[in-house]
Structure 1
Amino acid sequence: MHFGRKKLAKPLENKDARPALDVQSVIREARYTFVRGLGWAGVMSGFINVLQLTVPLFMLQVHDRVINSQSTDTLILLLVIAIAAIILFGILDFLRALVFQEMAKSLLRRVNLPAISAAMRVALEKGSLHGTQVLRDLSDLRNFINGSTIGAPLEALWSPIFLLVMFALHPYYGIAGLVAVLILIGFSLLGDLLVRQVTKEGTDANLRNIGDIGATVSNAEAIEAMGMMPALAMRWRREQIHASELLDVGNMRSKGMYSMTRTVRFGMQIVILAMGAYLVIIGETTPGAMIGGTVIMGRLLLPFDNVTRDWRAWVGAISAWKRIRSMLEETQSEREIKPTPRSEGPLLVDNLVYAVPGSNVPVLRGVSFELFPGEILGVVGPSAAGKSTLSRLLVGAAKPTSGGVYLNGHNAYLWERGSFGDMVGYLPQSVSLLNGTIRDNISRMRDSNPRKVINAARAAGVHEMIGRLPLGYDTPIGAGRHTLSGGQQQRIALARALYGWPRLLVLDEPNANLDAEGEASLIRAVRQAADSGAMVVLIAHRQSIMQYAHKLLVMQDGRVKQFGERTDIIRNMSNEGDGIKNIPVIAHKQESGGAA
């Protein structure tokens, strides 16, 4: 044992450290993928738009050439050409859909992993609602690219083709088409000005309401037991009505603008038909040109009509991408990607300061101590002393404001997560098991070695309990599956923390839900881990387990009040009349393999 060491070891600088993720590179690649795919789709849209002239041109030729010449050969030739053009149109339209699908798949493949990592980081700092938002944005973006909405602006870009054909039929046709297009573009811009802000406010209010409901549902038992549901329902109802009213205003304005654009489109088709009839009467055009011009006018205005209708979808997709990009940039990882070999060494906490993001009041203030292999450290102190925050920083789940946590000289926060997880076991205060089998949970969702899983379960004292479950280690747990008691969940979570015999074991209130048998198993596991050379950090209010600690860290108001040998600390605190004097003073016996 190394109980007498007071000098803090100097942290090592890892020269191989480099960013775990080049976010700017990911963003550039995603943007390049999107632009390249959009370029190919745009080229195909040009050919598709040209081929869409097949129907009006076929009608024009039939009226002006076939009917006048009474030639069936000409009719058959025109029919063959038209059918071939329509078939080619269908093929290109299908290929364009495949391009959009590949764009969505490629974008998701490039951004998915960093987005999930960013979501986890944001969930740790701001809560699960903010963390899951980026995943919803990814899904919305994928659905947008896969849908038909994305193609409308591409077709609108090729509208000059139809304008040129209309000018070729007659200048009046072209002027009428140009005026109609400008009117529809004006309606689109006006609609965006009227809808953008109110829709954003309604969406934000709706997301806040959903977050409030989701956070409250987790306390359903207390709500039901204390009759809080009527009051909560009224509050939710008010918030939902407010959000719904904002969204309804936006929808009403959007639908109003869409109705106006459709009115203009149908009205302009009537105008162009009447104009064509007049031009036929005065002999300036033919009946075929009149019919063809009317059909082309409808096709010219259709993409602008669709753009007006789907403008909000484009704005929503752009907003989703901005949120994704912003989150990736804000959470750009500083952690290493190079795995660090498993090693043994002390745990050094050096002048650790932590303040919640957005707050100027630190939760931890200059915490420093050192722990050596084989030692058990008990962390005690009143509520809100910063004990749980310290545990999160020890395992790299939060970024220190200043100072650092070093395990064998390596920064715990910057350590590559996979190899760091092999070194550390963590049992948080709020125990949560993941959807999956008990085997999956104990093995940390890895392809596990059954022997390691059973060894961890035996160490935690849950092997026999698991054997009594319906499917043993293959029993599925989680939402809607086999329900475990609080004590069973805590002991399985302890087995997960012990899996692979980590070098650092951080346990936050590990005996909170345990009975006498469970606490005895916990004590055996802690002592066995220390005997194997692991460093154990225990945070507990129930003081009985603290008699097995070698050292004590007394915290108050985020600071270290005292740190040292357990017996020395208890003696000092007893003299000062502190409540910690109730911790039993039991001398440790030396056993083979480490301290008992």
Structure 2
Amino acid sequence: MAAVKRTTVNPVLQSALKRTRAGVLYAALLGSFISALHLILPLYMVQVYDRVVPGRSLDTLIVLTLLAVAGLSFLGLMEYIRARVFMIVGERLARQLGAPVLQAAVAQSLRSQSTVATDAMRDVHELRQFVTGGPVALPFDALVSPLFLLLLFVLHPTYGVVGVIAVAILISLSVAMEYVARRPQASANDAAVRSHVEVGAAIRNAEIIEALGMRAAIASRWRQGQDRALMLVGAGNTAAKAISAVARSLRMMVQIAMLATGATLLISHQVSAGSMMAATIMLGRLLQPFDQLIQGWRQWCLAFGAFARLKQLLAGHVSDRLEVPAVATEGTVVIERLSFIPPGSDQALLKGISFSLTPGEVLGIIGPSGAGKSTLARLLVGVWKPSAGGIYLDGHDVYAWERTSFGRAVGYLPQNAALLEGTVRDNIGRFADAELADVITAAKAAGVHEMIGRLPRGYETVIGEGAFVLSGGQRQRIALARALFGGPRLLVLDEPNSSMDAEGEQALLLAIEQARRNGTTVVIVAQRTSVVATADRLLVLREGRIERIGPRREVAKDYAAPAPRRSVGPAAVARLPLTATA
């Protein structure tokens, strides 16, 4: 017999659920006391109708009222404590899951742009809201309902029968809600998430959409996804609204039935007026958890969907990074038989790459588009895990290296010089608690100190969406300062001058030269050949393999003669200067 495949629950998620379960059970215990305190009102009514009114005893009424007020005050205190317990448990759950989920989401985003990754933090918030709001305790509240059912039987067996019938009806409606509403709602949520992700990506590329007249096509694509989500939501909501309406009507009918039953028993002198009123109140308290389960089905749907996505995300995330920090003291780089196959592909982008770099050496990597240059740059900074072979900085595997200490050893300027929302100082200092003097040192090394001084608030200028907008060249130069922050031992620059003007490019060349003098190993991926004029060696990549590596002057001479097979990219190596420029 084939084994049933189950998704492994991540230990972090298991620990969070265990702690949450303990808190919820404690809140459920408080709920049992609260449920018992809800008997105060029906018992008070029994005493008033059956003892105070017939006996015309004001003293008894005063004593009963004081006791009832005291009991209800204690009930309010218990309700507050229970609400605080739910808030604490929900916040603790969010804190415990926050960092691991963020790390897993980042790792997933590096592998693929999936909706599971992009909405992970929203799912954590959804679970927190579910616990904080209290819907999670409704099943436990329902477990206390037999107490009220038992008391109905004590008052009169007929009251108990009416209560059993009412509970059976609401349980049936709850089960129906599960089958006709929750499952379609889960599919609708997934469809809506995908639609929102597509819209978000489109808005971030609004300039391209507007320039190329893609607005109508994008709107049509969004409308198709939205229509599908709305269709699924409509199917689930229609059934849910119908069941909710039926539940409300039936609950009121049951209340009428209880009053009619009580009146009938009262007429036949089988019960008192007080017991009739008490039975009606107890029935309402008996049915409340079941009614809330039906009314709150949407919160349960969202929570189930969020948990399933987080479980999938965390189950697929097993970190193979080291947790012990390491230190790079020199900057020696060794690449051994490096190969890389992207996830979901069977085509290798890099094949058997091997070379080494000494501290203070500058290597320029050139080649045609699609040769694997940017892939090699990402592997050098440990973004992706090699499929075979390895990359080592001072003897440490750059992928397995603990990331915080690795970040102090490496500077990286990617093709897309993205800056995060925050101040210029935050971005250059990598959002650490960095001294302003260190930030200024990195800015001066990148030649952007004066440019930053001309911004509205200098280093405290907030950049990002809805804030100050930088040009492409300004972003790239500030990103260069971020890469130089802290004096890294390895500096990887991927198309570092793609958006720079002549002034920015000159500052870039000076920064590379200064890094070389400081003993930093520099790797430059370039299409515009002027930036590799400072390189000690050139590496030519073609179809994922090293076609040539050697001193810059020799490689430039070998590729000076025009030949189809010698063409390495839009900017021909033949135009490389044979001497370094300052």
1:584 aligns with 2:576: yes
Q: Is the 8 A contact 1:380 1:554 kept in 2?
A: yes
Aligned to 1:338: 324
Deviations 1:59-97 (A, max 9, x none): 122111222222222222221221111111101000000
Aligned to 2:497: 511
Deviations 1:432-463 (A, max 9, x none): 11222222211111222333222222221112
Aligned to 1:177: 163
Aligned to 1:422: 408
Q: Does the residue aligned with 1:66 lie in a helix, a strand or coil?
A: helix
- Map 1:263-274 onto structure 2 (within 5 A): 263-274=249-260
Q: Which has the higher contact order (CA 8 A, sep 6+)?
A: 1
Q: Does the residue aligned with 1:362 lie in a helix, a strand or coil?
A: coil
Q: Mark the CA change 1:487 to 1:358 in structure 2 (over 3 Å): closer, same or farther.
A: same
Q: Does the residue aligned with 1:179 lie in a helix, a strand or coil?
A: helix
Q: Which runs of 5+ in 1 are unaligned?
A: 1-22, 590-595
Distance 2:288 2:271 in 1: 25
Quick one: which amino acid aligns to residue 282 of structure 2?
Answer: I
Deviations 1:28-86 (A, max 9, x none): 33122211111111111111111111111211221112222222222222212211111
Quick one: which amino acid aligns to residue 301 of structure 2?
Answer: V
Quick one: which amino acid aligns to residue 468 of structure 2?
Answer: H
Q: Which runs of 5+ in 2 are unaligned?
A: 1-8
Q: Is the 8 A contact 1:374 1:532 kept in 2?
A: yes
- Map 1:309-458 onto structure 2 (within 5 A): 309-458=295-444
* Alignment counterpart, residue 128 of structure 2, candidates 114, 129, 142: 142
For residue 570 of structure 1, report the CA deviation from its aligned partner: 3.3
1:559 aligns with 2:545: yes
* Alignment counterpart, residue 182 of structure 2, candidates 193, 196, 216: 196
Aligned to 1:168: 154
Deviations 1:288-328 (A, max 9, x none): 21221122112111110101111231232133123223322
1:282 aligns with 2:282: no
User: Which deviates the most, 398-407 or 163-172?
Assistant: 398-407
1:63 aligns with 2:55: no
1:254 aligns with 2:240: yes
Q: Does the residue aligned with 1:414 lie in a helix, a strand or coil?
A: coil
Q: Mark the CA change 1:351 to 1:547 in structure 2 (over 3 Å): closer, same or farther.
A: same
Instruction: Please report the TM-score for the alignment, with normalisation by the length of structure 2.
Output: 0.93
Q: Is the 8 A contact 2:541 2:547 kept in 1?
A: yes
Aligned to 2:87: 101
Aligned to 1:84: 70
Quick one: which amino acid aligns to residue 189 of structure 2?
Answer: T
* Alignment counterpart, residue 489 of structure 1, candidates 475, 478, 503: 475
Q: Is the 8 A contact 1:123 1:130 kept in 2?
A: no
For residue 575 of structure 1, report the CA deviation from its aligned partner: 5.9
For residue 249 of structure 1, report the CA deviation from its aligned partner: 1.5
Distance 1:295 1:459 in 2: 77
Q: Is the 8 A contact 2:331 2:519 kept in 1?
A: no
Distance 1:201 1:108 in 2: 25
* Alignment counterpart, residue 22 of structure 2, candidates 28, 36, 49: 36
1:476 aligns with 2:462: yes
Distance 1:71 1:437 in 2: 74
For residue 213 of structure 1, report the CA deviation from its aligned partner: 0.9
Distance 2:176 2:49 in 1: 41
Quick one: which amino acid aligns to residue 488 of structure 1?
Answer: Q
Q: Does the residue aligned with 2:296 lie in a helix, a strand or coil?
A: helix
Distance 1:471 1:504 in 2: 31
Distance 1:430 1:546 in 2: 19
Q: Does the residue aligned with 1:415 lie in a helix, a strand or coil?
A: coil
Distance 2:230 2:19 in 1: 36
Aligned to 2:5: none
Quick one: which amino acid aligns to residue 282 of structure 1?
Answer: S
Q: Does the residue aligned with 1:379 lie in a helix, a strand or coil?
A: strand
Paired residues in the alignment total 568
Distance 2:347 2:149 in 1: 65
Distance 1:87 1:463 in 2: 64
Deviations 1:93-141 (A, max 9, x none): 0000010011012112212111222222222222375433110011111
For residue 558 of structure 1, report the CA deviation from its aligned partner: 1.9
Q: Is the 8 A contact 2:186 2:301 kept in 1?
A: no
Distance 1:302 1:164 in 2: 16
How much is the aligned-residue C-alpha RMSD, in angstroms?
1.9
Aligned to 1:460: 446
Distance 1:232 1:588 in 2: 48
For residue 358 of structure 1, report the CA deviation from its aligned partner: 2.1
State the percentage of identical aligned residues. 44
For residue 361 of structure 1, report the CA deviation from its aligned partner: 2.2
- Map 1:123-134 onto structure 2 (within 5 A): 123-127=109-113, 129-134=115-120
Q: Does the residue aligned with 2:306 lie in a helix, a strand or coil?
A: helix
Instruction: Please report the TM-score for the alignment, with normalisation by the length of structure 1.
Output: 0.91
For residue 469 of structure 1, report the CA deviation from its aligned partner: 2.1
For residue 24 of structure 1, report the CA deviation from its aligned partner: 4.6
Q: Is the 8 A contact 1:46 1:158 kept in 2?
A: yes
Distance 2:127 2:224 in 1: 30
Q: Does the residue aligned with 2:169 lie in a helix, a strand or coil?
A: helix
Distance 1:291 1:453 in 2: 74
Distance 1:238 1:24 in 2: 35
Aligned to 1:13: none
Q: Does the residue aligned with 2:465 lie in a helix, a strand or coil?
A: coil
Q: Does the residue aligned with 2:119 lie in a helix, a strand or coil?
A: helix
Quick one: which amino acid aligns to residue 41 of structure 2?
Answer: V
Q: Does the residue aligned with 1:85 lie in a helix, a strand or coil?
A: helix
Q: Is the 8 A contact 2:186 2:302 kept in 1?
A: no
Q: Is the 8 A contact 1:442 1:495 kept in 2?
A: yes
Deviations 1:305-363 (A, max 9, x none): 10111123123213312322332232232212222123214211222222222222222
Quick one: which amino acid aligns to residue 576 of structure 2?
Answer: P
Aligned to 1:592: none
Quick one: which amino acid aligns to residue 567 of structure 2?
Answer: G
Distance 2:116 2:575 in 1: 42
Aligned to 1:18: none
Q: Mark the CA change 1:327 to 1:238 in structure 2 (over 3 Å): closer, same or farther.
A: closer
Q: Is the 8 A contact 2:331 2:520 kept in 1?
A: no
